[in-house]
Structure 1
Amino acid sequence: MSKYSRVVAIIAVMVVVLGVYFVILGGRGIDFIKLGGPVNIGLGIGVLILPLLGLWIVAATLRAGFRHQHLARRIHDENLELDVEDLPRLPSGRIERGAADSLFADVKDEYEKSPDDWRTNYRLARAYDYAGDRGRAREIMRRAVELERIESA
């Protein structure tokens, strides 16, 4: 079984487990509502909202993951992946801060020359990730997804 297949299998199992949990939680919410009374009905409605919120979070996360994987495949096919193989690493496996910052500076220069290309946005998001700025990485990756979607339309 390939690494990719294992990851997909783990995600599938987690989604099934969450689905079972959401069904059980929804059943508890219905049980509260059946008991009657304003407090029980309020609790029941609150408990019913949790599985709906959970489903939305799972769906949004999976959708983003699939979109990011699509971009990763395209970047790989176009041979534009960031080369981080030779960068010095910490014992934890993370890229050393100075090397990550240097990589980021190079990729940022590339991005500034073509800020509306999804490829440079994707590469910048990866560089942010390697530099440890996950928030900006997510923000730029969302932009890369949107730009790629526009290009493909």
Structure 2
Amino acid sequence: MSEPRSTRRRTGLVAAVALTALLAIYVWLVALRAVQLVATGTTVGIVLGAALLVAPLLVIALIAREWLLALDVQRMADELAAAGELPVDDLPRSPSGRVDRTAARAAFGPHRDRVEADPGEWRSWYHLAFAYDAAGDRARARAALRTASRLHRGKDAPGDLP
């Protein structure tokens, strides 16, 4: 028996928050050590400390970017659910639960055609992202979700297919 969707969503959120908190502690410790190195006043300490300060800033920016994307993807999913337009995963699977790649590729075409017909529609990009994911192309799925998010927020013009 499958657990309810709200329970899975809550479990995923708790895990994401916990991992983000652990990462925040790690970033804080690295930044603390970097400041201590800079405070030594030696050339090597200052250079190493400055280099170490860049890493936490980069991590913070990347984590913030991922959280913002996750929040917007959830808002898009909620809108699609309210309209009865959420992607349905009805692809055939092997006994181990893996999606049949041939069926996934065949189901991919209509989503790609929808995006090509109206590249400014975020809903089409959202569905394309899940078609890419079913076909096993995670990088393109993420790129399509980012495009859907930009369009959903009203920013940026649509790009080429990922």
TM-score tier after normalising by the smaller chain length: 0.7 to 0.9
In structure 2, what residue type is equivalent to 1:37?
T
* Residue 66 of structure 2 is aligned to residue 61 of structure 1: yes
Displacement, 1:108?
2.1
TM-score (norm 2): 0.83
Displacement, 1:81?
2.0
Displacement, 1:92?
4.5
Segments of structure 2 that go 5 or more residues without pairing to the other structure are 1-5, 156-162
Deviations 1:25-54 (A, max 9, x none): 111111111222111110011111111111
Segments of structure 1 that go 5 or more residues without pairing to the other structure are none
* Residue 48 of structure 2 is aligned to residue 43 of structure 1: yes
* Residue 147 of structure 2 is aligned to residue 143 of structure 1: yes
Distance in 1, matches of 2:95 and 2:66, equals: 30
Matches for 1:1-16 after TM superposition, within 5 Å: 2-16=7-21
In structure 1, what residue type is equivalent to 2:23?
L
* Residue 71 of structure 2 is aligned to residue 74 of structure 1: no
TM-score (norm 1): 0.88
Deviations 1:64-118 (A, max 9, x none): 1111111111112111122223x21135533111110111012223333333211
Aligned to 1:21: 26
Q: Secondary structure at the match of 2:85?
A: coil
Distance in 2, matches of 1:111 and 1:49, equals: 38
Aligned to 1:122: 126
1:112 maps to which of 98, 113, 116: 116
Distance in 2, matches of 1:130 and 1:28, equals: 43
Distance in 2, matches of 1:113 and 1:49, equals: 43
Displacement, 1:3?
1.6
Q: Secondary structure at the match of 1:150?
A: coil
Distance in 1, matches of 2:52 and 2:39, equals: 13
How many equivalent residue pairs?
A: 150
Matches for 1:85-104 after TM superposition, within 5 Å: 85=90, 87-104=91-108
More helix by percentage: 1
Displacement, 1:20?
1.1
Distance in 1, matches of 2:10 and 2:61, equals: 25
Distance in 2, matches of 1:26 and 1:77, equals: 44
